[in-house]
Chains A and B, each alone.
Chain A
Amino acid sequence: MSFFENLRSKAVNTFNQVLDKNKGEKLSRDEKFCIDNHLPDGEVILAELAVELRISSEYSLIEYNSVPQGRVYLTNHYIVFWDAYDRRNCSFVLNLSAVKKVERVPTNSYGFALNLTTHSKLNIVLYLIGLRSESEKFAHSLKMTLKSNLPNIKKLQPFMQTCYSEYILAKNKISDENIEVVPPGGLGLIYKFPGNPKELRDKSKMKLWFDLFRADGRNLSLIRTNMFHKLIRVGLPNRLRGEIWELSCGSMYLRLDNPDEYERILEENKDKRSIAIEEIEKDLNRSLPEYSAYQNPDGIERLRKVLTAYSWKNPQVGYCQAMNIVTAALLIFMSEEQAFWCLNVLCERIVPGYYSKTMYGTLLDQRVFESLVEDTMPLLWQHIAKHDIQLSVVSLPWFLSLYLNSLPLVYAFRILDIFFQHGPKTLFQVALAILKINGEELLQLEDDGMFIQVIKNYFLSLDQSAHPDSPNVKYRSITKFQELLVTAFKEFSVIEDSVIEKHRNKHRDSIFSNISTFVKRTELRNLPRTPNLNQLTLGVVYDRFYSIVETYNVTLGSGKNTMDFEAFYRFMSEICDFMNNETTEDTRKIVRDFIHRLFSHWGTSSTSISLPELATGLDKLAEPDLMNAMSNFYELYTDSSKDRIDREGILKMSEDLLAITACWKDCFVLDEITQKEIENAIADVVYKQQKQQNEKQFESEKGELKLPTEVDIDKSIIESKQTERYLSAASTFIQRAFEYAQPNEEEVLIEDLKIEDNKITHNAALNPNAPVFLNLPTFRMVVLADETYELFFSKTLQNSVHADKPLDSKFDTMRNLRDMFDGLLADGREVATKVRRRMDSAASNALLANSDGASMKSGKSTRIQEVDEEERDDDFNTIALNDGDKDVLLGAEVGELKVTSNSTRPTTQVEQQKAHESEHEHESENLIEFQT
């Protein structure tokens, strides 16, 4: 069961980190427990019980204020206790590997007691309080957990070799460990620690810690007493600083659990490059450059390795400036491995989001800081608001560099001592204290630049007396730094984690939405030029892109920001009419292949597509120029030579065209030709009605036309015509593509031109021995020869891709016959124009002899049964004309256009072809003029 619990908890945890904005509120009890006690993620409380403690060791010094009473918790790898009344009085986090022995102790006063003997030779007697059965259960759980932890015990011994605490005890024969060499530590061991050790009273501090380790245990089995907290507050001795930091923040446990990971990450990524690495390289020479180790290749190399390893460990953070300074500070006191794990805990647990790609944590905490200033120092805040001073420009570097680039280093380390134990509230408490202490002076200043100057000077004077004029010597000896600490941790002790969390929750949404706006603005601005997509459309594309790339959270700057094929397919199916067709499985598959073709042509990687690539691709689909639109499509099928399509390609292209156009073929969507046809059909009906009603005052009828709300036209006929057109277009296309495809020149040479032209053309598609290829001009010619396909590339296709369709839109972009019909009637203009035209034309016809108009009675018009035979004057581009009609109906100019499109049109006549499109629009008028 615990295994599944563990898994679940891990999953929830990851989920929270990535997606959950209101993190503080939604943590599970176990997660909160891990964070509160600085345990690694994934520990689960297996048992808990109220206990009283007796702790003893050979060297016991500490008199507890009272017998520690509280709750003991058993998790997968730890026993955790804290005093219910005063956590500082007594608490511990005991790694199970450091438990040497557990015995049941006979006792009179309590029903049940367990004696734990630790690696640090402590005896911890737990007097279990509560029902006997509960106690039995706890003891049983402990036994089972200890058993399952057995494999981890082998990690303990090598780990002890790396602990400075163990080393100094072994040297003094207190510990049984045999540690010959100084454990790997910070650069300070070689290059000296910053500051004057005498002034820092390093030696006496060391002695105090030595005594504490002896009496209360150390590293994995340390009892945290009042003394422990006191010793942290007075400042850690340099040699122990690294170990106490990692113990305080819990990174020690990660280092214990993953002994080889640091080296493994470095090894695995040895020769790899990344943006993060480039950025790291830029900053290596400028990280605490005043410290001697960083003027030396050894120090630089350690810094490079730790930062690089972390950038691989957490590519979502990668590298952020300021991490170099923090890591450089860690490495003065820690080994590379210690610093690596500490950096992990820092970036992911203590100040999450500070160094992320969007730095949301930094921005949020700056806002929180401002509102804390408002709450705690209203006068100063009023002043800041009145003069429009941006407080965060002053305070942001404090938080981001953990005061390391603001305070003199020795003082910054003192702040870090407390920070690692108490977390981010320390940063706030110190920042508030800085403003409070300098408040009087700040009230005199009126811009943020001067704020910075004043505080900079204050930082440089921290070693001076806070009360230089006091008659009291003791008072006079208090430094400004001591004053700062007292103000921070006494006066602002009310700024607890819960207060900060409350403020974070309050401001989180607005900060996150600011960031998303900013990120979107920036990302859209950075997109390549897309002449066919406007800003609004790009905005929609952006939103849809990220709504589909679900794991990506813009504000957290985490997750991936590319789409794989499945995501791309989903994206396209949301905006493309031709993908939403209730069609056959086969067609669906071919369309899917086509989408994959787009996917691989648009993206540079074979497995993913980025937003800029997607935008560029969509821009191509939206290409309004017919010639370019055809080239874009053509390029999807070219072979490696890039300027021709081989036999396979021609077949594939034809097949794809048939599949893509299936939704028009099946009349899920109607194209413009059909639209015109419907308009004509309606107009005919309306005209007929009008004519019947107003037979007499026909000529004077020029006023408002009243369109009926219902017109009966035969849907099936109009639809079947569109179907017919698309089927014939597809078959004509493949036939002509092979007919006009050029034979491979080499093959022709080999064949010595034996094969005559017509032989090739007749059997080209079927004869694999006659390789052919289609070049761009031929492809264009073949497309232009068919008006349905011509329209497909000039309008139909781009109109069926709705890149600007709003995300939440329920609106169906597909227009079936009913919709189009209703739309036409509701709008009415088109139809009204057409009816008028009929009237005008009839009127002029009435003036002429009937015989002139007789030739207009096209045989075609019988195809629409309800159309009045007498007055037929359809836009001829809406109807597939047969050859006979063409000659009769069209003027020489238009007729030529049709004819050339059937034969090998000289491809140089690009202009003419372009003009073709616009001519369609005027053709009906041409026709009328021709008549008159």
Chain B
Amino acid sequence: MSFPNPAKAVKLVLLGEAAVGKSSLVLRFVSNDFQENKEPTIGAAFLTQKCTIGDKTIKYEIWDTAGQERFASLAPMYYRNAQAALVVYDITKPASFLKARHWVKELHEQASKDITIALVGNKYDLVEDENDGDTLRKVSVEEGQKLAEDEGLLFFETSAKTSYNVNEVFVGIGTKIPESSAPTGVQQAGNEAGRIDLTTGAASTTQQTSGCC
């Protein structure tokens, strides 16, 4: 097709304990919006968003999975063939960091070999104003960095509420993701005119709700 920058489709999956803010991160990235009460995700929600990094455009196909423990057995269904994953935890909840460790392990064991993983400590807004004293923060930056280094992950602390560092996560993933990692079938399919026309540019934060036709 004759598009100057055929968008490269990247399947991205979000994993992490319930209520760490996975859906909120996606909502912030896709619609630049924040909602206090979001309906819980049943199975997984599917959203798309384009993101331009330098001269390449990535179309993220985002699978936002349910966080409740028992939905974990469904997760393989969503992370299969994923080229990128966000493993999200809540920096005020140590248990969610432990869970994040487990997810990283699970992905390394079970997901595609060249998957790009970003470790994301969310809810930065809860700690940013605090001094070093009595703090809500329960997972230190160093702990997160350490895990990320040990496991070869990207690392970010974000706030979906204030939008701090949210876009950087997706740009970071887009930069790191290997050029060849998109399954060719999907990529070519993504070049089909009908699908791409309906997606908007990366700078825009319009939600991609419409399908084709």
Chain A residues packing against B (C-beta within 8 Å): 279, 282-283, 285-287, 289, 320-322, 324-325, 356-359, 362-363, 387-388, 390, 392-393, 396-397, 400-401, 405, 441, 444-450, 452-454, 456-457, 515, 518-519, 521-522, 525-526, 557
Query: Cβ of B141 < 8 Å from any Cβ of A?
Result: no
Q: Are A324 and B71 in contact (CB under 8 A)?
A: no
Q: Are B61 and A449 in contact (CB under 8 A)?
A: yes
Flag B134-156 by CB within 8 Å of A: 1 or 0 each.
00000000000000000000000
Q: Which one of B38, B43, B77, B81 has the greatest number of beta carbons of chain A within 10 Å?
A: B43
Which residues of B from 35 to 68 have beta carbons under 8 Å from A? 36-44, 46, 48, 61, 63, 66, 68
State the Cβ distance, A310 to closest chain B Cβ, in Å: 15
Are A525 and B105 also in contact (CB < 8 A) when A286-B38, A363-B74, A405-B42 are? yes
Q: Are B46 and A286 in contact (CB under 8 A)?
A: no
Main SS class of interface, A: helix
Cα distance, A522 to B43, chains bound together (Å): 19
> Can you give 5 A-B contacts (C-beta < 8 A)?
A359-B70, A396-B42, A450-B195, A454-B212, A521-B109
State the Cβ distance, B30 to closest chain A Cβ, in Å: 13
Query: Cβ of B76 < 8 Å from any Cβ of A?
Result: yes
Q: Which residues of A contact B106 (CB under 8 A)?
A: 521-522, 525
Cα distance, A362 to B42, chains bound together (Å): 12
Q: Which residues of A contact B36 (CB under 8 A)?
A: 285
Q: Which one of B18, B73, B78, B195 has the greatest number of beta carbons of chain A within 10 Å?
A: B73
Contacts across chains A and B counted by CB atoms under 8 Å:
106
State the Cβ distance, A516 to closest chain B Cβ, in Å: 10
Q: Looking at the complex, which one of A279, A286, A362, A363 makes contact with B68 (CB distance below 8 Å)?
A: A279
Q: Are B212 and A450 in contact (CB under 8 A)?
A: yes
State the Cβ distance, B172 to closest chain A Cβ, in Å: 22
Q: Looking at the complex, which one of B18, B61, B105 makes contact with A282 (CB distance below 8 Å)?
A: B18
Flag B100-131 by CB within 8 Å of A: 1 or 0 each.
00100110010000000000000000000000
Q: Are B42 and A390 in contact (CB under 8 A)?
A: no
Q: Are A286 and B48 in contact (CB under 8 A)?
A: no
Q: Which residues of B contact A525 (CB under 8 A)?
A: 102, 105-106
State the Cβ distance, A784 to closest chain B Cβ, in Å: 39
Cα distance, A321 to B39, chains bound together (Å): 10
Closest to A275 in B: B69
Cα distance, A161 to B22, chains bound together (Å): 47
Closest to A317 in B: B70
Q: Looking at the complex, which one of B39, B81, B186, B209 makes contact with A289 (CB distance below 8 Å)?
A: B39
Besides A454-B212, A515-B73, 6 more A-B contacts (Cβ < 8 Å) are: A283-B40, A320-B70, A358-B70, A450-B195, A457-B211, A522-B102
Q: Are B77 and A324 in contact (CB under 8 A)?
A: no
State the Cβ distance, B109 to closest chain A Cβ, in Å: 8
Query: Cβ of B19 < 8 Å from any Cβ of A?
Result: yes
Q: Which residues of A contact B39 (CB under 8 A)?
A: 286-287, 289, 325, 405
Q: Which residues of B contact A518 (CB under 8 A)?
A: 73, 76
Q: Are A397 and B42 in contact (CB under 8 A)?
A: yes
Query: Cβ of B2 < 8 Å from any Cβ of A?
Result: no
Are A387 and B185 also in contact (CB < 8 A) when A320-B70, A363-B73 are? yes
Cα distance, A515 to B211, chains bound together (Å): 34
Q: Are B80 and A322 in contact (CB under 8 A)?
A: no
Cα distance, A362 to B19, chains bound together (Å): 23
Q: Which one of B42, B80, B212 has the greatest number of beta carbons of chain A within 10 Å?
A: B42
Q: Are A282 and B42 in contact (CB under 8 A)?
A: no
Q: Which residues of B contact A453 (CB under 8 A)?
A: 46, 209-212
Query: Cβ of B171 < 8 Å from any Cβ of A?
Result: no
Q: Are A441 and B102 in contact (CB under 8 A)?
A: no
Closest to A401 in B: B42
Q: Which residues of A contact B61 (CB under 8 A)?
A: 447, 449
State the Cβ distance, A387 to closest chain B Cβ, in Å: 7
Q: Are A519 and B73 in contact (CB under 8 A)?
A: yes
Closest to A405 in B: B42
Q: Which residues of B contact A363 (CB under 8 A)?
A: 73-74
Q: Which residues of B contact A522 (CB under 8 A)?
A: 72, 102, 106
Query: Cβ of B1 < 8 Å from any Cβ of A?
Result: no
Q: Are A526 and B102 in contact (CB under 8 A)?
A: yes
Q: Which one of A279, A321, A358, A388 has the greatest number of beta carbons of chain B within 10 Å?
A: A321
Q: Which residues of B contact A390 (CB under 8 A)?
A: 77, 80
Cα distance, A444 to B189, chains bound together (Å): 11
